[in-house]
Chains A and B, each alone.
With several copies, the nearest count.
Chain A
Amino acid sequence: MAKGLVTFNEDICKGCELCVAVCPKKIIELDQSKINAKGFHPAHVVNMDECIACGNCAIMCPDSVITVEKL
């Protein structure tokens, strides 16, 4: 399996959880410890090692928060 690197432009995340829902590895979560300027808990990957770089999260993110790289 390919490995992935997923980065979030946290400031513009709206916490909608679409990325969370479509990640096949279930490794995305909202970061309850943060609130961004828009007032949302931004999404982040909790276990990057499991990421398979499928791009689903990025494809589904309506706000282009996510960049996915294959390592």
Chain B
Amino acid sequence: MIEKVIVAGFGGQGVMALGKLLAYGGMLDDRQVSWLPSYGPEMRGGTANCDVIVSDTLIGSPVLTDDATAVIVMNLPSMDKFESHLAPNGKLIINKSLIEKKATRDDIEAYYIDANEIAMEIGNAKAANMVMLGAFLELTKIVKPESIIKAFTKVFGEDKAKFIPLNELALQRGAEAVKEQMAVS
């Protein structure tokens, strides 16, 4: 099993954190993992993305160019940039709240998640990234959601433990949202 994921969005949308949680969770599930960030020249307000690999076997290059198995895009510029990085049959998970466009390739699977709306519903707009992660986990089963939750305090520190319930919920809601689409698609 291997998942090579690109997570991309504006700075501030939590794409780096999403990637770190995924990688940490993967490690807790005893998988090989790598996480590789990439920033634009802006310190704030620019674009940010990271490459995450979770795999059963030794990881070669941590860089994803055109061999991503999944791409999670939080905003439009990211979608424009990274859709092409998907391998055939890869999964494109789109934050529908901010991206009106549809996937342009037809050799991939596209999923549309109202991440911001869902996050607002459960009480915190900042949890949109967790909603997207929930969707991704549901689709790939590469890491157990419990492991992500275990990773939470490791990545953000013990004092953030109070946010766990919210984030658990966000993962669930993301999973549910994508399940509906898996059914219809």
Contacts and interface: CB of A to CB of B under 8 A. Distances in A.
Interface of A: 14, 38-40
Contacts of A38: 45
Contacts, number: 6
Interface in B13-71: 45
Nearest to B9: A39
A66 B98 CA distance: 27
A39 B10 CA distance: 8
A14 B10 CA distance: 13
B167 interface: no
B129 interface: no
Nearest to A15: B45
- Looking at chain B's contact residues, the main secondary structure is loop
B172 interface: no
Contacts of B95: none
A40 B10 CA distance: 11
A38 B45 CA distance: 8
Contacts of A14: 45
A32 B147 CA distance: 37
Interface string B118-143: 00000000000000000000000000
Contacts of B10: 39
A14 B45 CA distance: 9
A38 B77 CA distance: 10
A39 B75 CA distance: 9
6 contacts: A14-B45, A38-B45, A39-B10, A39-B45, A39-B75, A40-B45
